[in-house]
A and B are shown apart, each in its own frame.
Chain A
Amino acid sequence: MKRLVIALAAFALLCGTAFAEPVTIEFWHAMGGKNGDVTQAIIDKFNASQGDYKVVGVFKGSYADTMNAGIAAFRAGQPPAILQVYEVGTATMMAAKGAIVPVYKLMKEEGRSFDPHEFIPAISGYYSTSAGQMLSMPFNSSTAVMYYNKDAFRKAGLDPAKPPTTWPEVFADARKLKAAGYAGGLTSNWFGWIQLENFSAWHNLPFGTKSNGFDGFDTRLVFNGPLQLRHLTNLYNLSKEGVFIYGGRDNAANTLFTSGQVPIHFESIGGYGAMKSTCTFDFGVAMLPYYPDVKGAPQNSIIGGASLWVLAKQSPAQYKGVAAFLTFLSKPDIQSYFHEQTGYLPVTLAAYKLTKEQGYYKDNPGLEVAIRQLNYKTPTPNSRGIRFGYMPQIRTICDEQWESILGGKETVKQGLDNMVRLGDELLRKFEKIAEAE
């Protein structure tokens, strides 16, 4: 008995010295289902690759839930080291200077090589300052593309190999599809993100002043210009003809497309996997259309998705671990794995190259369309992204006004002006609070 106790004690001592407790790094994210499994697999790979740090991934629900959980934890004095925040939360995170550690700063202090030029510019630019310093680490990125039903194109006598590239062509094809017996010709998800934010960037038009908010909080919205008015008027008129079908907010219009009722649809490339498993027909992915009379169009589209923010109040050892984990995340094979498993875009150029070399795009041409669209031209201050406070609310305002326009409660011009006016009121409030800090 005595011998056993001694043996156990010796064993415990051995364990204690041989396996020093790794430093725990909490990583709160909003990746559920399949995406959550892939995220956890990457975390496991990182933990297995070294013994100093242990990343603990915690699924916190929707993007809004995750952000709220992180903020509540910060207020309670115990924030996670890494928090995944959706792209529209970027301005809020950036303004909270005392709550975050900018990624470029962390990487520099920890002596990690970290070159923004290794990233796809439209992705890194979204999360960088105007001076090109990356504030957060891009994680899952998507962009808006056009999906079209090839079977329907055949039925309406259109060429499925040649999807329309300009808006006038889209409208003409949509009318033909409607005439061929479909419930409608085109529909769209995410009205604000696709038909206003991406639309403006794709035509190299500003969405707001101060480089779309990148150069300061004293920014105003300017997306009620003549081209946006023309575009929404076209959609409104098509809606009166029953060619454009409004399918609801967020991604509610998906059922219109996947059920085969409406053959042209605008949706995130993040929905590519779901489309592949849901659609019973042959479909294709094409770049966003543009108005051919606009000089310089198309430019490049902007991203959606989320990035990883490093929060304050961690120990020096934890920050070391965070830097190691972020470096691990941007490795080409990890990026490529995440890209192929989730359908989100690779964030580094090397990962894109690797995926291409592996021949992945032969079977999944839609994903490459999205990357080429993001990379179409070097981003300008109009197409780098958007950075406004209360952005989720601004998108809601856009949804509400768009519904009022389509419901005939106000004209297109009134609705578009209201979006800008109500959005500006929020920006003034955000500016006031941010400056008081």
Chain B
Amino acid sequence: MAKQYEFSSRRLPYLLVLPQMVIVFVFFFWPALQAVWQSLYMQDAFGLSMIFVGLSNYVRLFKDPSYLNSLFISFAFAAVVAFSAMILALFLAVQANRRIRGAAFYKTMLVWPYAMATLVAGVLWLFLFSPNVGIIAYFLKHSLGVDWNHLLRAGQAFLLVSIAATWKQISYNFVFFLAGLQNVPAALVEAAAIDGAGPFRRFWSVVFPLLSPTTFYLLTMNLVYAFFETFPIIHQVTEGGPGQATNILVYRVYKDGVINLDLGASSAESVILMLIVIGLTVLQFRFVERKVTY
């Protein structure tokens, strides 16, 4: 049990959290409020002409088939990336947690990709799979007869950005899963073994429930990652294409806001994206967290 501290002054605790609150307000709440405000206007790039349009930026979006497509793509992408990155990381963590030769080496190698910028990860995978010069694309074509061309094939493009985004996130998940696994008391696992539980049963009934706080935390982080932080991969590998096959919401916000200088539409898109992620997080805390045993 953690000790409880009492502050002698009532103001002191507020004073201590103040710097953090100021940062959160200036860099998170203030821009978010600005986005909400700007989403109610149609305006030119320089802000010389502002027309109040109410919710019509939002209405326009939901009537736009390409936006609905982006919504669908984003959810599919987030689900695929979060699920794959967590399953693979859990598998690797379980393997690395066993007593094997060179465990430290494996662990180090598995954590390495996390040190890499997401953009660089995108460049790397693009280079491997580039239909013109990529070594994997060449292998697929000449050895397996797969005509790899993610520049024109929507499914392949989606697969490629999913692989790149997943690969980048595995390291992060791996570290947390490994730490979680090392906290599972060996006595519990041994007791289950003596009771006759096989390896799978031991994992599923003893280890996995004890990992649930880690899993829950990672689920939240992975969804946030897939919705927001995968931007550099999309930007580098597909630019949202071919057609709009990988045009996820966060990439649209960038394109409309930064490239097209359409702040009204871009703000409305970012508000919706924010609501989606807040909504998902709330849902997780209300429904998934109940199944978590701390």
Partner of B261, one of A71, A99, A256: A71
Q: Is the CB of B133 within 8 A of A259?
A: yes
Report the separation of the CA atoms of residues A436 and B42 in the bound assembly, to the nearest whole angstrom.
10
Report the separation of the CA atoms of residues A320 and B130 in the bound assembly, to the nearest whole angstrom.
51
Partner of B255, one of A65, A393, A406, A433: A393
> Given the known A-B contacts A98-B48, A247-B132, A256-B132, are A403 and B42 also in contact in the complex, defined by CB atoms under 8 Å?
no
Q: Which of A97, A246, A390, A433 has the most CB of B within 10 A?
A: A433
Report the separation of the CA atoms of residues A247 and B244 in the bound assembly, to the nearest whole angstrom.
17
* B232 at the A interface (CB under 8 A): no
SS class, residues of chain A in contact with chain B: helix
Q: Which residues in window 245-267 of B have CB below 8 A to A? A: 255-256, 258-262
Partner of B151, one of A65, A68, A403, A409: A403
Q: Which residue of A lies closest to B149 (CB)?
A: A246
Q: Is the CB of A400 within 8 A of B151?
A: no
What's the least CB distance linking A149 to chain B, in Å?
A: 15
Number of A-B contacts (CB under 8 A): 93
Report the separation of the CA atoms of residues A153 and B147 in the bound assembly, to the nearest whole angstrom.
27
> Given the known A-B contacts A247-B132, A407-B152, A433-B49, are A401 and B44 also in contact in the complex, defined by CB atoms under 8 Å?
no
What's the least CB distance linking B268 to chain A, in Å?
A: 13
Q: B59-91 toward A: CB 8 Å interface, digit per residue (1/0)? A: 000000000000000000000000000000000
Q: B226-240 toward A: CB 8 Å interface, digit per residue (1/0)? A: 000000000000011
What's the least CB distance linking B65 to chain A, in Å?
A: 10
SS class, residues of chain B in contact with chain A: loop
> Given the known A-B contacts A71-B261, A247-B132, A390-B262, are A92 and B243 also in contact in the complex, defined by CB atoms under 8 Å?
no
Q: Is the CB of A246 within 8 A of B152?
A: yes
Using Cβ atoms and an 8 Å threshold, which residues of chain B touch A406? 152
Using Cβ atoms and an 8 Å threshold, which residues of chain A touch B259? 64, 392-393, 396
Q: Is the CB of B44 within 8 A of A92?
A: yes
What's the least CB distance linking B109 to chain A, in Å?
A: 30
Using Cβ atoms and an 8 Å threshold, which residues of chain A touch B294? none
* A432 at the B interface (CB under 8 A): yes
Q: Is the CB of B151 within 8 A of A248?
A: yes
Using Cβ atoms and an 8 Å threshold, which residues of chain A touch B130? 255
Q: Is the CB of B132 within 8 A of A404?
A: no
* A114 at the B interface (CB under 8 A): no
Using Cβ atoms and an 8 Å threshold, which residues of chain B touch A96? 44-46, 48
Q: Is the CB of B152 within 8 A of A403?
A: yes
Q: Is the CB of B132 within 8 A of A261?
A: yes
What's the least CB distance linking B244 to chain A, in Å?
A: 6
Q: Which residue of B lies closest to A311 (CB)?
A: B46
Using Cβ atoms and an 8 Å threshold, which residues of chain B touch A67? 261
Q: Is the CB of B51 within 8 A of A249?
A: no
Using Cβ atoms and an 8 Å threshold, which residues of chain B touch A151? none
Q: Which of B46, B51, B256 has the most CB of A within 10 A?
A: B46
Q: Is the CB of B152 within 8 A of A399?
A: no
* A95 at the B interface (CB under 8 A): yes
* A75 at the B interface (CB under 8 A): yes
Q: Which residue of B lies closest to A253 (CB)?
A: B132
Partner of A403, one of B243, B255, B258, B260: B243
Q: Which residues in window 19-44 of A have CB below 8 A to B? A: none
What's the least CB distance linking B257 to chain A, in Å?
A: 9
Report the separation of the CA atoms of residues A390 and B263 in the bound assembly, to the nearest whole angstrom.
12
* A353 at the B interface (CB under 8 A): no
Using Cβ atoms and an 8 Å threshold, which residues of chain B touch A252? 151
Report the separation of the CA atoms of residues A250 and B241 in the bound assembly, to the nearest whole angstrom.
12
What's the least CB distance linking B152 to chain A, in Å?
A: 4
Q: Is the CB of A95 within 8 A of B241?
A: no
* B43 at the A interface (CB under 8 A): yes
Using Cβ atoms and an 8 Å threshold, which residues of chain A touch B258? 64-65, 68
Q: Is the CB of A259 within 8 A of B132?
A: yes
Report the separation of the CA atoms of residues A247 and B256 in the bound assembly, to the nearest whole angstrom.
24
> Given the known A-B contacts A92-B261, A392-B259, A403-B151, are A249 and B241 also in contact in the complex, defined by CB atoms under 8 Å?
yes
Using Cβ atoms and an 8 Å threshold, which residues of chain A touch B47? 75
Using Cβ atoms and an 8 Å threshold, which residues of chain B touch A261? 132
Q: Is the CB of A92 within 8 A of B45?
A: yes
Q: A69-108 toward B: CB 8 Å interface, digit per residue (1/0)? A: 0010011000000000000000010011111000000000
A-B contact pairs, 10 of them (CB 8 A): A64-B258, A68-B258, A97-B48, A249-B239, A259-B133, A400-B242, A407-B153, A407-B154, A433-B42, A436-B51
Instruction: Please give 16 more A-B residue pairs, beta carbons under 8 A apart, in addition to A393-B256, A404-B242.
Output: A96-B45, A99-B46, A248-B151, A249-B239, A252-B151, A255-B130, A259-B133, A390-B262, A400-B241, A403-B152, A406-B152, A407-B152, A409-B154, A433-B42, A433-B49, A434-B49
